[in-house]
Amino acid sequence: MNSAAPERLTIVLAPWCPHCVPLSVRHGRRLARLLKVPLRTLDIDRPAQERAADRLVARYGDAAPDYLIPQVFLEWSDGRVEHLLTGFSEQVARTDRAWKDLFRSRWLKGVLAGRKR
């Protein structure tokens, strides 16, 4: 059994993006609370944060010359970084639904059950 635990939730975002703020920040805060991990936001409009965001997206996320935001990542204690979600370009409401489905998912139930063990 994998004994790794979630360590940090990161959202790559921009303040002008309606899929990101306030929608994904709100859901991200809730998810971080459930997982008992800190939430980090990386704003692609701030050069230092943008560099960290670019590295994360290039290595673990959906990279493109002008990549989609938000992108959400969960870092684990064993060093793994799990890409959880990328915003749905079709519609802000579709990104909202993705977050809600993530909260209802078997995956999250499993992660939370693992935390209790």
Partner 1 sequence: MTVSGRVPPVLRRALAPDDPHCYRHCDRPLRARALTARTPGLLLVYACPGGAVSVVTYSEWRNRDPTPTLLAYARTHTLPPRLVRRWDLRTATRHGPELGRGAEAYMGKARPPRPLRAVYWRVYPTRTKDGSVRRLFACARHGRGNVRFFLAPGDAQSPRCPACATGGKKRAR
Residues at the contact surface with partner 1, assessed by CB under 8 A: 61-68, 83-91, 93-94, 97-99, 101-102, 104-108
Q: Give 48 or 113: the residue with its C-beta nearer to partner 1.
A: 113
Neighbouring residues of 69: CB distance < 8 A, sequence distance ≥ 6 = 12, 13, 14, 17, 19, 20, 44, 87
Residue (48 or 66) nearer to partner 1, CB: 66
Shortest CB 19 distance to partner 1, Å: 11
In the complex, what is the shortest distance from the CB of residue 88 to partner 1, in angstroms, rounded to a whole number? 7
Write down the least CB distance from residue 82 to partner 1, Å: 9
- Residues 28, 22: Cα–Cα separation, whole Å: 10
41 vs 86, beta carbon nearer partner 1:
86
